[in-house]
Structure 1
Amino acid sequence: MNISFEDKRILVTGAASGIGRGITLRLSQFGATVVAIDVENESLDILKSECASIITATLDLSNWESVQETINNLLPIDMLVNCAGVVEVLPLTDITEDSYQRLFDVNVKGLISITKHIVADLLARKQPGSIVNISSQASQAGLLNHTIYSATKGAVDAFTRTLALEVGPKNIRVNCVNPTVVMTPLGRKAWSDTNARYSMLAKIPLQRFAEIEDVVDAVVFLLSNKSGMITGHCLPVDGGFLSC
């Protein structure tokens, strides 16, 4: 499949590590001018050293005013990948107000804030666009001790569907990708316990966790004009976990 993002400016949040890093590098390979957003300045510097064409900006997505100021200085943006997110795996009785606030501030408020400004610019310029949000299988299936995280990702799914309805007539597509466990460095560490690992794998028909490239491939497809008739969808990249 021949995909090119020449002459496109694509913003990726959470771009300095894990899935976001993989998406950023792939989009650069496909000719995009990638604007990489992350809270970790040092990690952004490393990313920039690997691909000099990447534009980087440090941003705390939980700060609504900072998001507005930063994004206004980076416009125009043609496409958006909302990849930034935080996770905390705790039983409900151990959740604090701070942990609740942290998850919703980044996973929901930050995503909505950055999307708002980019959609407003696309509408003002009367330009088409494509947005992909990174959600999770946890939005659609109960996972032990994921109550607050699952709630944030359920919000992402609902936001995706509703925004797709709102901006579809303006030729702006909005989709999300819902991965299973992904073998990022953090994912490998989190699922290093043999019992927990095999308990989850037993629920996945393909009997493996996702690699970063599995998610990157889905994101690239949904961003591209090869998915030009697809909007409002939440695409599981889960080896069949949600289907069986």
Structure 2
Amino acid sequence: MKFIIITLFPNFINSFKNQGIIKKAIDNNIIDINIFDIKKYGNNKIDDKQYGGGKGMIIKPNPLYNCIKEAKFLLKFNCKVLYLTPKGKILNTSFIKNKLLNKNIIIICGRYKDIDERIILTEVDEEISIGDYVLSNGDLPSMILIDSIVRLLPGVISNSYKTDSFYSESNLLGYPCYTKPFIFNNIKVPEILLSGNHKLIYKWRLIKSIEKTILNRPELINFNKFNDLEKKIFYNFIKNNN
């Protein structure tokens, strides 16, 4: 899988490439990351004031278009072009698996106020947001996007370190985790986790996961995907907390 990152600040991405699972995936030829510097395509002028007035500079279409054109040629036009922006669709695992996994990707990292809309209309396949907040650049979101994709590729992370399947299938948040020591700050590890009864441990973790999701991210609850046990846990929690 190949990534091309279009950015104004390549050093951001260079440090990212040399760390953790990204470096491992590159070293094992699972992915390849190339960086295109927009400044090289703009004759030292890559931004300008926006028509109609208003605060903030806009990245000009000409250098960005030439940069995207060369990136597409390098990938033999077999790729998706993504623009990271607060105006985009919220990134989640389902979107990654259905739309992005195992596809060559060109990522446009925004700066300043925005990029020229004509690039979005003619060159961008998907506008993506990593959340309902604004950052000073698109380089940080690009790293989040790549990491979230790469960790799902075979051979990058062992199955033991991936999220347990029932969380992704039911769209639930993860359960509380404990390790040694048994007592820390006068808080003991729940006895059930020491029982060796994997059915009870599974149920306890599922209960905690559903409770955490209801309390912190209720919009993630998809009751239609719940099995009978999950529905029972859900109803019990609602009943006991009204």
Using structure 2 for the length normalisation, give the TM-score: 0.33
Using structure 1 for the length normalisation, give the TM-score: 0.32
Greater Rg by CA = 2
